[in-house]
């Protein structure tokens, strides 16, 4: 940007530069002693009037002018004086206009007001720069949600009722907004006077600045783990990455959909993370509805991410984008999502910009899922196992996101561990920690049973408030909590007893060749259907009693018309291998299934049940005894 | 509150008392001839200016003053004159300031404006005292719902967007509000200028006054029963107590959740009460959304209050408290809720402040439930029986709550009676009453069938409008009503005929030793599943036909894979006893069930069906013939 | 309306008529030279003041007056002059007041502002005439939705919060509104200053004018069919009638409820019509929420209109009327609704003002349904058949309603055709048309499979956004679309393969006497339950493979515990006849069912399955071979 002119005499501090004010510059951008490009817009007896920008004009008195001028001519001027009434007087700059000089644009120096300072500027016009993270067209104004270094604020721009304002501006653009923060019925929002999409370098600079700030702000808090636990340390860095990803997701205004295993550990994992995210969103977003709109927790119907859930999640995501201009969500899978069975659902979402993060402690199929995930935390990826439960991990995750939750969560890892019968070394420490909060082991066990029982009756409802009460997070009455969980746990145990009273009489026993006991129970015919406990839990409870009764290796098979639930303690079943073999050996059996060494479930067609189960038992009789193996790992209860 | 001073001469009517005006007192609180404590706030040539309160100031002329004064000195003055321009002139009170005198505080005498006079004060500042019944934090203002002697009004207090105003004030507090009634988009509400929580005696007095007024207003209307019926008179006082409890619940702003048996009688009970409550709420609450937010009618899935329903009800209640600051609800069980089977659900709710009232006519287990209920109306508690149907009771209950409904309800008890085949003496009177409204018995029967049929298809939806149409409450087109119920009743009968056409061919007959006929039908194999009529109704219809065919004592058993529905006419089965015996005699049978002498249902595990039913039939063969016994009492249709 | 007076001299153009201005007339309604009835309201030195209407008054100067007058006397005057300041001067009309003359009322000539000109009159008072199409009582103002010749606009009238304004005015009335168009948060609405219900002739004239305009505007667009197809031409006029009915329904503000077959063709039919209606509503209604509130698309659970759906639809319609003052809806049945099985549901709705239109290509029972329908388009009514699929018809219907959709729909008929395996001549043209849009046959097939697969997982959710994505209507990313449908189609095929892998091993084969192959599959025992593909599709896929394998006539029966799905290629089964015969031959079989020559389904009671199927197979063995017959027509997949 050079212009063909040159000054004859040097000026103080810019002999070869002349400044050109941008049209939106004001007198604030004017400095004394600097040469500015001006255009003559009027000629009068006593001088000429010049424009330096839309807002900056003034007189050059005839006494300081030489030569003749026409309207439209350019002059290089400097400020001479500001009159009492605000009028400006200019004089020709001491520059030889025949010399070459550089012309340098001057942008208006906006004094930007970050979203952190809106409350103290209510009613005053301010400027804001940020990235558009949501564009919601109401039938009135268009609402741009804009994220800057400090937070996210809704900005209402009105073109005409229901007509998209600034149609050229969309999610992902970096914009400069001039407007006035106002209280609206339900929120603080900026009433937009002007909005411009930044472009080129300016945009890049702003984006970089914002992204860098978001990046810094996304950094999780460095919280010390609740207990000292070397095994956990191995997972901590990757958990930290998930915390950062989630914080960044909040800062960027993207919604988060949490799908979790609907059991005790799954709820101990999902509820703290949900609350941590909600509180962080509350901190970041001026729109007070944001926590409700941006986080949704949903129990999963199966122990994996079903196509049914994925189809619905995708449809909801697309509808939220269409109706509310939201970004597509991040999917957070908790206590669930590490296996090959999740792949079709993940692949469906992969056609869209929907990041996926998984925190799970079920035996993973990393080769199958890794390419589809943006983050994956699983103890098996670090030579640890299910004993580090997802609930234990997620309490730390929640604390990394929002450390102030810590005091409400100290007892939760112990509940998670008991729910999944974790034999982790750390259990003692967790139990002690819980005890300090008034939770002895009996009460923790009650919480675990009560969670399981309530979740069963809530079915697909996430039951936010009741589950929070049972977990005693954000709850007020400690005594009531203790009584309530004791009551529900007692109910649960009675109903399990009722179920087992019927079932145990029909339990078939067999001594396998490998020395293990095999117990079979027809849960369709000898257990109550559609009630608590469901077949999986019924089978598990029978299994546990038999382990205690016998002290020997035990396998238990609970079967219905077209499914079987398997549990082993002390026998290495390797269920995925058994399933593959059965699939091959029994044509027309429709065998499929999942699980790992000692826990799993198998499906088949109803008409081949006998054949499938007989073949399965034969395999079990050949399976290797390994007394260290325990089925205490979580199992699907449906 | 004594001060160290004493007067030398007596004053007219308070020689030893000086009054001290509270800061918010106005000239209205000032009485001539009374001595007031004043503080000098200015001294001028012609006298001193004194303050008696923030608003009450005036001049004491130098001509009436003796001695010297400094700003800040106290004086005891009385009112001398009010000038034309409103200025006040005081003179020293005739009291010897060296004597001891009592200082008595004077509160500003607020002229309270009751919620009944808000409409005529729109736009004017008023004062209101009442009890806080709901505190809803919006993301804008905090909304306090305040109940006084006359009604409930929302009061909006704004601190900062989304920030809780008056955080020290909560549900249950008694407060004084200064504010301005305004029309808001959807309601009349008070914009709060100031709110103070009353304390100590003031609070107690106000609370007592309000409670006494609410207590008076809660009194039900003394309506004459629709018909003269001595049996009903026995229940009337306890029904009146329920009416009072419900009216008080409305006046106190607590929500009401109605759970009712999803059959004809249950709907005849629940719908009138729902409408009566809605209308009364409309009268009491300024917020026009209140009827929708405060009453919810839900058909129960089972003939008792299931844990599933209780779990969900509790979660919703906690969510409404969390999200809308509502009080926990009162639960009203109708045509349901009197038995031992309801206990676990009641015990779950008992951990919270959730009162429970029951109006039912099923055979109760008073020992089991009484301690858990705040009210229980049941004819069996008064030596009456199911012939007084819940619908009959609840029409009177609805009228006690809101008598203006009477004209819309005259035909409803007859529908209730026919639905439950009541053989009450009063049926003739009810039929006559209905006939006066244009409902002959055929039409009433049509209404009953249509209700049953529509409720089946509506499943768990309460179907408010359609059910109101079928009951012809608040409906406009009598001819259409008649045609519609005739059409639906006809459809219902056709579908019953279709079902029975298949089933009757497979009915197994047996002559029992006691001389009764036993009919058995396998409803799983010989009736259509998942369609109307459901197994219970199918069994009942078969039973009714066989009674008519044979004229003899008849027992009918409709059984599926894991359940049986039982009906007897003329044989005393005593089903609870049978269930207990079977439970003991058949280990692993998983037998449970409920019912009474001639109606009941039994559950068992699928694999023990034959054994259970054989044992059951043996017992039936031994049961005592008692021709007076009829199974016409309501039975679960699922 | 004659008065007892007569003029002595004739006036120019009305010697025996005197005009009487209505109270709301203004000077605009005054014509020079015409005699007007006036009333004296004041007498002064220099004349008398007269009123001609509330707004029209003036002086009759004493110089032109004769006789004496009292206030309240009538005069007949004509306009003499309009002074500079706007004052009017009158003089006695040249009429003999003793003669008889007719008095004719003059209404104020409102300059009406149509709903098409509201935007340019925001903030100015305007007048509007129209028909009330919805009256919504909010707890604030009453909202009258008013339709005129150009559109529908909400008009807010405020009486008192929550109190019905203009209670005498209801849906169907023709009204004149004076008010001011304003932007409200979410819409443009008129703030009502005054509203009067027109009566008598005025109302009739206005109604006729509006109806005529609506009638004209309801005329569908004359779009050329996408392809040249003589068979379609026969249906075009009746399709045009449906388009007109739907457009009129929109113009009259009545909601539309679309129920459609939940398969590929059904979605290709319903989605374009839904979008066309939404866009047209957006054009017609000022309320921007109207598209969402006035159109609802719902997949039907069965291949006919079930009582369950009708009961719920009716309840929702009544609730929308109660809560939102909406008219009852029009029901639009698509790819569904032509048969006797639909009659009970239609008869239920027939008790209300709920018009029903059907576009279907399933074999109809015109005698059964015709009287119940307001419109019925079906190729069979024009000697055509299922090969003209509903999707093909409805793409044209959508274009008649909203032609601008055309470019987004060109590929849709080909998808519809492939979904229903249409062998229409037109398929080649449709495929070519689709190819021009970048859809080769493989991609079209993928869309069809993907639709079917996604609809299965969405269950009863209409899945608006996902289905639009899969149909690529209003979608943005062509490449993603192609990949996504390919992926889902592939998943679908894999799951079908899995299902068939199990099932094919259990397929029973029989050579029938008539030379056809009979294949039977027990889908309850030899296929996975509750997963994709459902029994109907499983049976269809087996059937298709066997046709290809054998090249001979093939019948396939897929049966479960109480149902069977039938498919035939090359054998004339006439399923309705078979059902009637079985119903008679097998007492207690509970046989019912539907279908046509080569496709159908049968229900029976579980316990009679063997007998029913054996008898069915016997009939099939006797059935006539007709190699032209193909079962490619759509079949229920449940």
- B228-232, B598-602, C13-17, C279-283: lowest mean pLDDT where? C13-17
Q: What is the crossing angle of helices B478-504 and B441-458, to 10°?
A: 70
C-alpha B426/C-alpha C120 separation (Å) is: 69
User: What subunits make at least 3 CB pairs under 8 angstroms with A?
Assistant: B, C
Which 8-state DSSP code applies to residue B112? B
Which residues from C are below 8 Å from B when comparing CB atoms? 138-140, 160-162, 307-308, 311-312, 314-315, 318-319, 321-322, 344, 347-348, 351-352, 562, 587-590, 592, 603, 605-608
C598 CA: distance to closest CA in chain B (Å):
25
User: Could you report the per-residue pLDDT of C312-348, keeping only the tens digit for each?
Assistant: 999 999 999 988 889 999 999 999 999 999 999 999 9
> In a mutagenesis test of the A interface, which of B158, B187, B307 is the best target, namely the one with the most A β-carbons within 10 Å?
B307
Which fold, B230-439? inorganic pyrophosphatase (n-terminal core) (3.90.1640)
Q: Which long-range contacts (CB under 8 A, 24 or more apart) does A573-581 make?
A: A573/A597, A573/A598, A573/A600, A573/A619, A573/A620, A573/A623, A574/A623, A575/A599, A575/A600, A575/A602, A576/A600, A578/A602, A578/A616, A578/A619, A581/A619
For residue A231, is pLDDT > 50? yes
* Percent of residues, chain C, with pLDDT higher than 90: 58
Put simply, the answer to whether A187 touches B161 (Cβ < 8 Å) is yes
Per DSSP, the residues of C472-529 read TSS---HHHHHHHHHHHHHHHHHHHHHHHHHHHTT-EEEE-TTS-EEEEEEHHHHS-S
pLDDT tops 80 at residue C10: no
Find the residue in A nearest to B139 (Cα). A186
In whole angstroms, give the CA distance from residue A45 to residue B518. 123
Closest Cα of chain B to C216: distance in Å? 34
Domain coordinates of chain A in residue numbers? 2-106, 115-217, 230-421, 505-625
pLDDT tens, position by position, B422-435: 989 899 999 999 99
Residue A378: its pLDDT value, please? 96
pLDDT band at C81, cuts 50/70/90? confident
Q: How far is A522 from chain B (nearest CA, A)?
A: 9
User: At residue A388, does pLDDT exceed 70?
Assistant: yes
- Residue A237 host element (H or E): helix A230-251
Tell me the per-residue pLDDT of B28-50, one tens digit each, with 9 for 90 and over.
788 888 899 999 988 888 888 99
Chain A closest CA to B23's CA: distance in Å?
32
Separation in Å, CA of C310 to nearest CA in chain A: 25
Give tens-digit pLDDT for C157-190: 987 766 788 988 999 899 989 889 887 655 788 9
Mean pLDDT along residues B441-457: 95
pLDDT for A551 beyond 80? yes
What confidence score (pLDDT) does residue C7 get?
38
Q: What is the mean pLDDT of residues B167-180?
A: 90
Half-sphere exposure (Cβ direction) of B72: Cα atoms closer than 13 Å: 1
Q: Is the pLDDT of residue C90 over 70?
A: yes
Cis, bond preceding B485 (omega within 30 deg of 0): no
Q: Is residue A599 a contact partner of residue A633, using CB atoms and an 8 Å limit?
A: yes
ipTM of the complex: 0.77
Share of residues in chain B with pLDDT > 70 (%): 94
- Minimal C-alpha gap between C289 and chain A (Å): 7
Among left, alpha and beta (phi > 0; psi -120 to 50; other), residue A85 is alpha
Which residue among C458, C484, C527 sits closest to A351, beta carbon to beta carbon?
Answer: C484
> Which pLDDT does position B123 carry in this prediction?
83
pLDDT at B5: 38
For C578-625, the pLDDT digits (tens) are 999 999 999 899 998 877 788 889 999 999 999 999 999 999 999 999
Contact C525 A352 (CB under 8 A): no
The H-or-E segment that residue A427 falls in is helix A427-436
Considering the entire predicted model, what is its pTM? 0.80
Average pLDDT value over all residues in chain A? 89
Predicted local confidence at residue C632, as pLDDT = 66
pLDDT value, residue B238: 96
Kindly state the tokens that stand for A70: 């026409």
**The pLDDT value given to residue B452:** 93
CB contact under 8 A, C161 and B498: no
Neighbours of A393 (CB within 10 A): 30
The chain A residues in contact with chain C (CB within 8 A) are 138-140, 160-162, 307-308, 311-312, 314-315, 318-319, 321-322, 344, 347-348, 351-352, 562, 587-590, 592, 603, 605-608
**Can you give the pLDDT at residue C373?**
97
Nearest CA in chain C to B469: C318
Give pLDDT, residue C97. Answer: 60
Q: What's residue A480's pLDDT?
A: 92
Q: Which residues of B touch C584 (CB under 8 A)?
A: none
Task: Determine the pLDDT at residue B436.
Answer: 95
For B373, half-sphere exposure in the C-beta direction (CA atoms, 13 angstrom radius) is 25
Mark out chain B residues that contact chain C at CB-CB < 8 A: 119, 183-188, 287-289, 454, 457-459, 461, 463-466, 469, 480, 483-484, 487-488, 491, 498-499, 501-506, 522, 524-529, 532
For residues C129 and C194, the answer to whether their CB atoms sit within 8 Å is no
Q: Which of B487, B505, B524 sits opposite C347 (nearest CB)?
A: B487
Task: Provide the pLDDT confidence category of residue C474 given band limits of 50, 70 and 90.
Answer: confident
Nearest to A318 among C184, C459, C465 (CB): C465
**Among A186, A188, A287, beta carbon nearest to B138:** A186
Nearest CA-CA partner of A68 in A51, A98, A94, A43 = A43
Q: Do B315 and A185 touch (CB under 8 A)?
A: no
More confident position, B15 or C170 = C170
C-alpha to C-alpha distances, A390 to A233, A346, A377, A387, A471, nearest whole angstrom = 15, 20, 9, 9, 15
> Residue B90 pLDDT more than 90?
yes
Does A250 score more than 70 pLDDT? yes
Query: What pLDDT sits at residue B70?
Result: 84
Which of B286, B288, B291 is the best substitution to test chain C (most C C-beta atoms within 10 A)? B288
Nearest to C590 among B466, B483, B528 (CB): B528
Q: Nearest CA of chain C to the CA of B536: how many Å?
A: 17
Per-residue pLDDT averaged across B628-632, rounded?
77
- Which residue would you say has higher pLDDT here, B595 or A472? A472
Q: Residue A249: which pLDDT band, with cuts at 50, 70 and 90?
A: very high
The answer to whether the beta carbons of residues C41 and C139 sit under 8 Å apart is no
**Residue C79's closest CA among C36, C49, C47, C43?**
C36
* Band (A301; pLDDT cuts 50, 70, 90): confident
The number of residues making up chain C comes to: 638
The pLDDT, as a whole number, for residue B236 is: 96
Class of domain A230-421: alpha beta
Which residues contact residue B414 at a Cβ distance below 8 angstroms, ignoring those fewer than 6 apart?
Answer: B427, B430, B431, B433, B434, B439, B444
CATH architecture of A115-217: Beta Barrel (2.40)
CA distance A71 to chain C (A): 39
Greatest extent of chain C over all pairs of C-alpha atoms, in Å: 118
Strand C554-559, strand B330-334: pairing = unpaired
The CATH H-level (homologous superfamily) assignment of domain B2-106 is: Nucleic acid-binding proteins (2.40.50.140)
Q: Rounded mean pLDDT of C195-219?
A: 89
Domain over B115-218 is classified CATH 2.40.50.140 = yes
Q: Is the pLDDT of residue A538 over 90?
A: yes
State whether B315 and A525 contact (CB < 8 Å): no
The predicted pLDDT at position A3 comes to 34
Query: Is CATH 3.90.1640.30 the classification given to domain C230-441?
Result: yes
Decide if pLDDT at B538 tops 90.
yes
pLDDT-based confidence at residue C5 (cuts at 50, 70, 90) = very low
Confidence of residue A124 (pLDDT cuts 50, 70, 90): confident
Confidence category of residue B11, pLDDT binned at 50, 70, 90:
very low
pLDDT of residue A406 exceeding 50: yes
**Partners of residue B139 in chain A, C-beta under 8 Å:** 185-187, 287-289
pLDDT-above-70 percentage for chain C: 95
CATH architecture for residues B505-625: Roll (3.10)
**Out of C461, C502, C506, whose CB is closest to A315?**
C461
pLDDT score, position A9: 40
Residue B106's nearest CA partner among B33, B39, B26 is B26
Domain C2-106 and domain C115-218, same fold? Reply is yes
Q: Which residues of B touch A461 (CB under 8 A)?
A: 312, 315
Cβ of B288 within 8 Å of Cβ of C589? The answer is no
Of B118, B140, B291, nearest in space to B188 by CA? B118
Residue of C nearest to B496 (CA): C590
Start-to-end C-alpha separation, chain A:
72
**pLDDT tens, position by position, B111-141:** 788 888 888 888 888 888 899 988 988 767 8
A319 with C465: Cβ contact below 8 A: yes
Q: Determine the pLDDT at residue A411.
A: 97
Average pLDDT score, chain C? 89
DSSP single-letter state for residue A250: H
CA–CA distance, C180 with C185 (Å, rounded to integer) = 15
**How many other CB atoms are there within 10 angstroms of residue B549's CB atom?**
10
CB-CB contact of C173 with C144 (8 Å) = no
pLDDT for C433-468, tens place per residue? Answer: 999 999 999 999 999 999 999 999 998 889 999 999
Q: In 3D, which of A447, A638, A625, A636 has the Cα closest to residue A533?
A: A638
Q: Please write the tens of the pLDDT for every residue from B62-88.
A: 888 887 888 888 889 999 888 888 889
Which residues of C fall below an 8 Å CB-CB distance to A? 119, 183-188, 287-289, 454, 457-459, 461, 463-466, 469, 480, 483-484, 487-488, 491, 498-499, 501-506, 522, 524-529, 532
Q: Which chain C residues are closer than 8 Å to B183 by Cβ?
A: 140, 161
Interface test with C, best of B528, B535, B561 (most C CBs within 10 A): B528
According to the model, what pLDDT value does residue A34 have? 87
Name which of C575, C610, C577 is nearest C596 in CA terms.
C575
Please, which pLDDT band fits residue C376 given cuts at 50, 70 and 90? very high
**pLDDT computed for residue B303 by the predictor:** 83
Average pLDDT, chain B: 89
Which chains, if any, share at least 3 CB pairs under 8 A with chain B?
A, C
Task: Give A13's pLDDT tier (boundaries 50, 70, 90).
Answer: very low
Residue C525 has pLDDT above 50, yes or no: yes
With bands split at pLDDT 50, 70 and 90, how would you rate the model's confidence at A384? very high
Q: Tell me if A348 sits within 8 A of A307, measured CB to CB.
A: yes
Query: What pLDDT is attached to residue C9?
Result: 40
| pLDDT, tens digit, 9 for 90 and up, residues A35-83 | 999 999 888 888 889 999 888 999 998 888 887 788 888 889 999 888 8
Distances (CA, A) of A410 to A222, A403, B290: 17, 12, 40
- B637 pLDDT tier (thresholds 50, 70, 90): very low
What is the rounded average pLDDT of the residues C262-271?
94
Tokens of A156: 């209402």
Q: Is the pLDDT of residue A141 over 70?
A: yes
Q: What pLDDT, on a 0 to 100 scale, did the predictor assign at position A309?
A: 93
Q: How confident is the model at residue B394 (pLDDT cuts 50, 70, 90)?
A: very high
Sheet of strand B554-559, all strands in order from the earlier edge strand to the far edge: B508-511, B517-522, B554-559, B563-569, B599-603, B592-595
């Amino acid at each position: 940007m050079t212009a063909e002119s040159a000054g004859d005499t040097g000026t103080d501090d810019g002999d070869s530069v002349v400044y050109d004010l941008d049209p939106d510059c004001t007198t604030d951008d004017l400095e004394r002693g600097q040469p500015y490009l001006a255009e003559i817009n009027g000629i009068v007896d006593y001088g000429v009037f010049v424009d330096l920008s839309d807002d900056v004009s003034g007189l050059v008195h005839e006494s300081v002018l030489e030569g003749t001028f026409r309207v439209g001519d350019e002059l290089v001027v400097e400020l001479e004086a500001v009159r009492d009434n605000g009028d400006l007087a200019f004089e020709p700059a001491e520059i030889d206009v025949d010399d070459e000089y550089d012309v340098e644009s001057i942008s208006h120096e906006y004094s930007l007001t970050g979203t952190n300072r809106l409350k103290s500027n209510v009613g005053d016009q301010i400027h804001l720069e940020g990235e558009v993270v949501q564009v919601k067209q109401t039938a009135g104004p268009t609402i741009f949600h804009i994220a800057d270094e400090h937070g996210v604020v809704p900005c209402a721009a009105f073109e005409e009722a229901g007509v998209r304002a600034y149609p050229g501006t969309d999610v992902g653009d970096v914009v400069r907004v001039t407007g006035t923060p106002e209280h609206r019925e339900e929120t603080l929002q900026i009433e937009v006077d002007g909005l411009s999409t930044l472009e080129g370098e300016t945009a890049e600079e702003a984006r970089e600045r914002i992204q860098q700030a978001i990046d810094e702000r996304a950094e999780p808090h460095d919280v010390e783990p609740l207990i000292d636990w070397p095994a956990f340390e191995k997972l901590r860095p990757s958990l930290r990455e998930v915390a950062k990803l989630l914080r960044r997701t909040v800062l960027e205004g993207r919604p988060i959909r949490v799908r979790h295993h609907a059991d005790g550990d799954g709820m101990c994992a999902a509820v703290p993370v949900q609350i941590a995210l909600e509180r962080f969103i509350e901190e970041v977003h001026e729109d007070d509805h944001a926590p409700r709109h941006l986080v949704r927790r949903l129990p999963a119907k199966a122990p994996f991410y079903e196509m049914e859930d994925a189809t619905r999640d995708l449809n909801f995501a697309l509808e939220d984008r269409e109706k509310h201009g939201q970004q597509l969500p991040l999917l957070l899978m908790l206590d669930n999502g590490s296996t090959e069975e999740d792949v079709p659902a993940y692949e469906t979402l992969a056609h869209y910009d929907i990041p996926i993060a998984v925190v799970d402690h079920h035996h993973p199929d990393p080769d199958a899922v890794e390419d589809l995930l943006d983050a994956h935390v699983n103890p098996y990826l670090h030579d640890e196992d299910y004993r580090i439960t997802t609930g234990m991990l997620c309490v730390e995750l929640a604390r990394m996101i929002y450390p102030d939750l810590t005091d409400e969560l100290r007892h939760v890892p112990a509940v998670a561990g008991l729910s999944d019968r974790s034999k982790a070394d750390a259990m003692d420490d967790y139990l002690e920690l819980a005890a300090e909060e008034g939770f002895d082991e009996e009460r923790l066990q009650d919480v675990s049973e009560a969670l399981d029982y309530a979740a069963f009756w809530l079915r697909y409802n996430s039951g936010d408030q009741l589950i929070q009460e049972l977990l005693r997070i954000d709850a007020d009455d400690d005594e009531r909590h203790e009584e309530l969980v004791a009551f529900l746990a007692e109910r649960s145990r009675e109903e399990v007893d009722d179920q087992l009273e019927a079932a145990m009489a029909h339990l078939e026993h067999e001594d396998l060749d490998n020395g293990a006991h095999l117990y079979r129970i027809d849960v369709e015919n000898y257990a109550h259907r559609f009630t608590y406990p469901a077949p999986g839990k019924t089978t598990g409870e029978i299994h546990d009693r038999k382990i205690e009764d016998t002290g020997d290796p035990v396998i238990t098979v609970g079967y219905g018309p077209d499914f079987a639930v398997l549990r082993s303690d002390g026998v290495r079943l390797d269920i995925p291998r058994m399933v593959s073999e059965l699939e091959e050996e029994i044509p027309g059996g429709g065998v499929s299934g999942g699980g790992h060494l000692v826990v799993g479930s198998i499906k088949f067609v109803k008409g081949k049940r006998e054949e499938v189960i007989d073949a399965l038992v034969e395999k079990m009789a050949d399976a290797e005894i390994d007394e260290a193996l325990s089925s205490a790992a979580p199992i699907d209860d449906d």
